[in-house]
Amino acid sequence: MITATAVYVHPLTLLIARSGLTAAGYLKRVADRHKALGYGAMAYRKEKATRWTREGVTPERTALLAIASLHGLSAADVDRYGWPGFLLLVLDDDQAVLESPWTAAGTLNSLTHVGGPVDRRGFLIASTSTLAAAVAQWMTAEPALAVTDTGRRIGAETADLFDVRLDALRHLDDTVGAGQVYDAAIVELRLITALLKDGSYTQLTGRRLFASAAEASRLAGWCAYDEGRLAAAERHFVTSLRAAASAQDPTLGAVTLAFWANLRYNAGDPHGALHLIDGALADRRKISSPRVLAMLHARAARAHSKADEPAAAWRQIDAAFDAYATADVPEADLTAMYWINHGELHQVAASSALTLGEPKRALEHFTAAVDHTDPYDSDREIRGAVIYQARQAEAHLALGDIDAALGIGHDVITAMGGVDSARTTTTLTELRGHLAAHRHVPAVADFLDYAA
């Protein structure tokens, strides 16, 4: 169970800290702006900041307008997002993503800034306790309400169009690669965010728009991960989780947690991944898609395999197949889950077996992934196919069949072609590392030279 809670930091406290001033110094600037706007003098003792941030006192309207003006915000921003929600429009860094309230205003703040450049290779969220806190906040976040005061009316037909466009982006990711789709997802995200900020809509339409934002941010996160940009990916996943909460869509949130878990266990943090999956499954009755449940159990299996916990891993593999057995036709399920089928689950089982040091069992599942009779199976996108082929070659090599490993290795290089993917490159590098111990074999030496 997820029991951690995030520490809430008032947005004004964050703004004061970032200004480099004392509380009194910051309030002096507010007071100067207050006077310049024609509202008269305003006291600026530090106790005023304490009342506003710790005692729940809302500033007078003229003070709110002075603060907004100081940061380049409008009176409309103050009216729309309230106190202290409008301050979130100013905060645009990782700490704000983590510490902003889990409200519609906090989600909009994350959506507004999440597409910015993040070049760091490390994690945005480093500790397991912080992961758990993010999931705990997701579970109790406030859903979005109707917005009817300003802006042009956004109807259900607009939400329908975003559903179609996002479905196309998911399939484009399968064919054109992560780099181009990342850029397209960011454009989509900005368009959705602009409508959420500036339009008016019913509660239902608003939540559908937040759901579209969640999916666009999740897709951007997945593409960033595929390019090896882990910090950017995690920032997108946090924002996606926030948007799913605002949409009041636990199934969509569970999808985001599953993809985030994939990043964590492949980056050496299987227990962090399991915290995310446990959070998603904490109330599995709210997850409407059997394929999402199957995916969650499959991701849990991979995390347990990387943590060297075979019994738990195989229990999760069984649970994944059991969940999938209850699935209806793909058209009746979540559209984003078109790729979950028997073949995918067998590939996950094979990869888990290989990680656990069971190459024979791995090959059995690799074979089953091809020979199964699931009528809803489809061809894997090229990156996934390459990764699984490389792992199959590793299984053959572990069993001493160098010729079979080399044959598949050549297929991997041919299939990769011009695919630009950090995940596929890493997998090929791992295969080359396993083959390096056999360089004395002429065919292996030739392959290693060719692969280099």
The whole-number average pLDDT for the span 411-419 is 67
Please count the residues of the chain. 452
Q: Which two tokens stand for residue 431?
A: 């295969």
Q: Quick one: tokens of 140?
A: 């109790």
Contacts of 112 (CB under 8 A, 6+ apart): 89, 92, 193, 197
Structure tokens at 363: 């090959």
Please tell me the distance from the alpha carbon of residue 137 to that of residue 156, in angstroms, as a whole number: 28
Query: What local confidence, expressed as pLDDT, does residue 400 receive?
Result: 87
Q: What is residue 7's DSSP assignment?
A: P
76 three-class SS: helix
Phi and psi dihedrals of 202, rounded to 5?
-75, 170
- Cα separation, 222 vs 217, in Å, equals 9
**27 or 85, which is more confident?**
27
Q: Which of 15-29, 195-209, 419-433 has the highest mean pLDDT?
A: 195-209
Mean per-residue pLDDT, 283-305: 96
Q: Is the pLDDT of residue 130 over 80?
A: no
For residues 177-194, average pLDDT? 89
361: pLDDT confidence band, cut at 50, 70 and 90?
very high
**Share above pLDDT 90 across residues of the chain, in percent, rounded to a whole number:** 43
The confidence band for 200, taking pLDDT boundaries of 50, 70 and 90, is very high
pLDDT at res. 7: 41
Instruction: Locate all alpha helices (DSSP H) within 82-226, ordered by sequence.
Output: 94-99, 104-113, 128-140, 156-176, 178-198, 203-226
Tell me: pLDDT of 169 over 70: yes
pLDDT tens for 87-114 read 866 765 555 566 678 888 888 888 887 7
pLDDT at 227: 82
| Secondary structure (DSSP) of 343-354 | HHHHHHHHHHHH
pLDDT value of position 176: 75
Mean per-residue pLDDT of the chain: 84
- Which of the listed ranges 4-8, 159-163, 227-231, 384-388 does the model predict with the highest average pLDDT? 159-163
pLDDT number for residue 129: 65
How far apart, in whole angstroms, are the C-alpha atoms of residue 410 and residue 16? 58
Mean pLDDT computed over 138-165: 90
pLDDT over 60 at 331, yes or no: yes
To which residue do tokens 């979950």 refer?
A: 340
pLDDT value, residue 128: 65
